Structure 1
Amino acid sequence: MSRIVFTSSIFAVALLLFTGCAPKVSKITLGDYYPKVYASNTKSILVLPAKNTTTSVDATDHFRYTITKPLAEKGYYVYPVHLVDSFFKSENLSDTNIIHSIPVSKLKDIFAPDAILYVDINAWDTGYTVMDSHVDVGLSFSLIDAKTEEELWQSNAYAYSYEGLDGNNGLAGLIISAITTALNTATDYTKLAGVANNAGVSLLPAGRYNPLYKKDKDLALTFLDIAKLDGSRLYVDEYFIYGNKQEGKVALTINRRAKGYFAFPVTDMNWFAHNGYSNYYITQEIKGKKYLRNRFFLYENNRPFLLAEGKKVFVQTETDGTIPFSEEGGRFYFNIEKIIELKSPESKS
């Protein structure tokens, strides 16, 4: 039976096993993490058809079928996607590039939402080998305030399905695996898209129609310190970029090559050890403009940052959005643009 697994908790254990030492953590409240969401008082969200940059012609539909539920469960009114799609169709608008370029003010006049959700599908890939098969899904989210046109919230999510041998079963196992791989064309893509959508909005603050509305502002979040400060520079270790070398192309989990459906938001280090996404950068189109974003970083106001020692550490970028770095002794160093001190949740009254 397929399983849905969010790997943030098990990866802390796995990292301990991998590095041989207890990882340091940063603590932050959800209110400090996404302050603009709380200031906006967003109640309703218009979800635009996702821009699909992959070769899968059905990816957009799978996304649309599964995005409403996690947003509604968060407490937001979501404009019915079939009605939204019908409107665009009645206006002869089927190209998502054109839809994403419609001015926010125009969308606000038509639908009157509090916020607009832009989504790019940047991975929807299927891979087969004699030993296994897998499907990878990658999504990028950007929530825009319909009144101010500022970005309130941004998130990336990655999900995959895996089917293959659990161990070394000899020639018979290879034959069985080959047959299983050949027959593994019935992946539930809608379910997989739902896993990615759930992961993507997992840390979105609760909306007006959720009992936790405004109450989750002081919710304490704990993140592994995957980045470290070294004077005027920020650095990450080699495994941050290349993932767990012992497992190769299979994401690091306690069950190793566990079958089923898995997902991890950007706040989870497991995404670095993913079995795909060799391209560090993804292009996200918001309000008709394209933004280059590095999948290893979090973003605020289109500026990349990582959490380190209880601080938001923003790094310098080139004019095209790329992030310059230098490599020294297995570490990757980034120049710091600014540091925002964060109060530990324990110190707040």
Structure 2
Amino acid sequence: MQKATVPRSSAYLTALSQEIERKLQKALNIPSHRLELLQQLFADIALEIDDRAREIILSKGEDADADEITESNLCFYDVLANHFLIKPENGQSILNLIVLLWSQSFASHIFALLFHKWLFEVPIENPEALLRYGSALVQGATNVFWIDIQTNSRRFLSLFRYLLEDVALVPTRLEKISLQARRDLFHLLSKFLFFYNFDHMLERFLKHFPIFTNTFLIGGPVDVFVIELTDQLQKLKVEPVLLHYLSSLRALQGLELRMTTSTRLKACLYSFTSPGGPMYPTRAVRHAAWGSLDLLFPVGQYPRHIISFFFRLLYPWYWPSTCWNLIKACITTILYSLLRLLFSSWERMTKSRND
């Protein structure tokens, strides 16, 4: 019975590989439709596998590991990346076509999704090719992670997990790519570590951070991580994602930062506490930024709030909303106080009757 399922799964993955090769060849032959074809191919391999395809693909244990079998949101690129790792010859023609399309949009996206495991686990003898593949991987991973940011989804979580747990934390694999690619990879992981909810691995991640030549100027791993995180915060425009980042900043509590890095982070958070430009934060973002700012920098929090209040007085168009929110806060506080008083009185009366 098991032997009958092996060809079915293998044939399905081979057919998928041939279809990818066909679309890449078509994109290479038709320059006018190249962008559209590559975009469609990227969307296809990033799709979540439906139940019928899952039954066919995962019927063979060697093309998908046990962890991925249990994932409910398994995508086509997950199984294809494993397939090209186990059978590198099936992906060689696809790789050659991607190399010919390097300069095109979505080419690096497709390479990062399909060949991220192949790059680090299959021997590659050509050093020039390794240099090219390493930079393409970081570029492609950056692009797909930003797609997750913009859509507030975690479709490419498995790619991030692999780059973090199986590459960044494994020195033997990390050494396969160039020093510049390693630096870019750690910068990339620093930007998206909180987004993909790996803040619990921050300490391990920082211990494996490579030492760069400009450490004297910018600081150690913690400073580099916070600098990249600060730059990421200033680029975020999706409110739920920004709120998620701000709530995750509690993981930075207790870390020793350089004065310049600390000031940079403080200035970034402070820019989210005021309405209007340049960040134009919503009320929820402002409150989250104040919470993170007070948590990470408790010294001087009361003077900061007082100064912020007086600066708000310089913008009369914000007075109505400020007064309304203040009234709502006062009413809510009074209601909660009355409810607490009522319940405590009721408990005392009940207790006295029982006695």
Flag the structure with more relative contact order, 1 or 2, with Cα contacts below 8 A and sequence separation at least 6.
1
TM-score tier after normalising by the smaller chain length: under 0.3
The structure with the largest alpha-carbon Rg is 2
TM-score (norm 2): 0.25
